[in-house]
Chains A and B, each alone.
Chain A
Amino acid sequence: MSEKVLMKGNEAFCEAAIRGGCRFYVGYPITPQSEIPEYMSHEMPKRGGTFVQSESELGSINISYGIACAGGNVFVSSASPGIALMQEGMSFACSAEVPIVILNVSRSGPGIGGIQPAQADYFQVTRGGGNGDYKIPVFAPSTMQEAIDIIYNSFEIADQLRNPVIILADGMMGQMMEPVVLPEEKQPYKTEAEITKYKPWALTGTKNKDHRNRIVSYWAKPEELEHHIIHLFEKYAKAEKELVRYETIGAEDPEIVFVAFGTMARIVAEVIEILNNEGIKAGMIRPISLWPFPKAPFEALSPEKTKVVISTELSMGQLLADVENSVQGRIPTRLINRVGGIVPTTNEILERAKKILGELK
């Protein structure tokens, strides 16, 4: 049964995973997500699941890979430098076509960084980070409810695509309390027969099967490897159509368009309301999927009506790169950002946006 409760972000993320049918969690402590391994350590055994505290994030991703190879629905979480350590494993899982749901409750950076909200892992999660040609769908929720719905559904997406899926959150979302509606609990499939039925490729042993499964990443011949990479990219092309998610809010035919995701989108929503009340037509494109990046709402903008597209982000122009890519020079683009764990206020964004508008006139 769905139920409304007040929960801390990190714990709500866990509930969403468990209710989404996940019964395996692997993690290693790192702020701002340490409540996740803590919650999972006591909750998983109660719900018939398995909690593994790994020796490192290399351990996390590779234990998760083993769980997934064996047909278990697995959830693994970390924060920025931990995600960096996992990325060889993510590349490996993509090449071996193994589904893993990965949550990055990101820090500011580079280096060890800080625990306050930042979006500086945008390139890290959307551009690979691991080696070779691969893609991972990345979803960036901006409310707790959205995070819950996304995590809940990610296991099915990962299974269908046979590929990892990343959810990008930040310390603000991890620590904040919000009322949420928890979805109904899906029943995990745990028996060998169920695993074989839903994941015929998984390793369960050859008994009760008429074939022998192998999960591989190594292709000795270049022709075979090329063939495999083309196969992966056919999957990704399909994912690009089916998994793109975004929201547009604000005025019709806006003269100023903000682009923001996650925590920033909540602040920008307030800015838009103020601008629209002042008679300045403002709107926002809020990408929910960062890969695939939503291009359609940018194509729909008219250069006659929209004077500027402003990437509003907690990084040094990483989101701006995708914005520019999507606007393709048709409309001027600008950047409003803070970094290092500082979140700009509504007023700061308002003033900087007005200044940009003034300069363009």
Chain B
Amino acid sequence: MKPLYEPTEGLLPVDTSYCAGCGHGVAHKIIMSCIEEKGRLGDTIGVSPIGCSVVAHQFMNVEMCESAHGRAPAVATGIKRVHPNHLVFSYQGDGDLASIGVTEVVHAAVRGEKITTFFINNAIYGMTGGQMSPTTLIGQRSTTSIDGRKPEINGIPIRMSELLATIDGAAYIERVALNTPANIRKAKKAVMNALEVQEKGLGFSLVEFISTCPTNWGLTPVDSLKWAAENMIPYYPLGVFKDTRGDEK
């Protein structure tokens, strides 16, 4: 009989430190099972960010280092330059990637670095306790926008995948969601594609995951999935924004 669900060797058999209903655990599982399927656990190096997932290396069964807040794509650049044949990835939240680290991710794409960035967009600063992030939605409440984000004061949420797709060095950009089994299957396909792009040396690749933060959203895990579907996905449409596979001569 074919098992319906199996653990992956890509994750260590330990409890994670993430809250109930947090998307980090699901994203970890997807990414690591793809790397396992590719048979690349032994020659993959990951970079964890500053954010709730700073400790990702306690769960992901590959060699990893931590990086200063926002700088993971720069660190991954350095690693890839030493080990050009390894799979190298950065794993980052929306505060890390879309706020303090915009320069690093943009220029990793501009240089066409052959790395893959996994961008976990939960529309809030999780680790620091629920402050507004650049991807917090208009009207969304946070501890620094208690009456909801107002465009005239706080600006308008940034769509990083669309922005990065305009850069020629970016070879694969896709936004996926973690809210339903069907979306999780699509997310896995996206990760496989992004890693394939890296293996082929086509350029920079990124998968953005629409994720959840029940603790800081003040919702139950189930309501968080609903909230993501009803509010985040309409503003952050899912899909492939860039795919240069097939363009190569």
Contacts and interface: CB of A to CB of B under 8 A. Distances in A.
Interface in A57-79: 58-59, 62-72, 74
B37 interface: no
B107 A55 contact: yes
Nearest to A67: B78
A38 B44 CA distance: 33
B63 A213 contact: yes
Nearest to B106: A55
A204 B83 CA distance: 7
A228 B78 CA distance: 25
A214 B67 contact: no
B83 A66 contact: no
Interface residues on A, range: 35 or more
Contacts of B57: 214, 216
Interface stretch (A88-96, A136-144, A165-173, A339-347): A88-96
A63 B67 CA distance: 10
Interface in A212-244: 212-218, 220
B104 A62 contact: yes
B78 A68 contact: yes
Contacts of A205: 42-45, 62-63, 83, 86
A212 B61 contact: yes
Contacts, number: 129
A16 B43 CA distance: 33
A171 to B, nearest CB: 28
A160 interface: no
Contacts of B62: 205-206, 212
A47 B54 CA distance: 37
Interface stretch (B69-77, B142-150, B205-213, B240-248): B69-77
A52 interface: yes
Contacts of B71: 58-59, 62, 65, 89
A361 interface: no
17 contacts: A55-B103, A55-B104, A58-B71, A58-B74, A65-B67, A66-B77, A66-B79, A70-B78, A70-B81, A70-B82, A74-B78, A92-B68, A195-B82, A203-B64, A204-B83, A206-B61, A214-B57
Interface of A: 24, 26, 50, 52, 54-56, 58-59, 62-72, 74, 88-89, 92, 96, 192, 195, 203-208, 212-218, 220
Which 10 A-B pairs give the minimum distances between C-beta atoms?
A66-B78, A207-B42, A70-B82, A62-B74, A215-B65, A66-B75, A55-B107, A67-B78, A62-B71, A205-B43
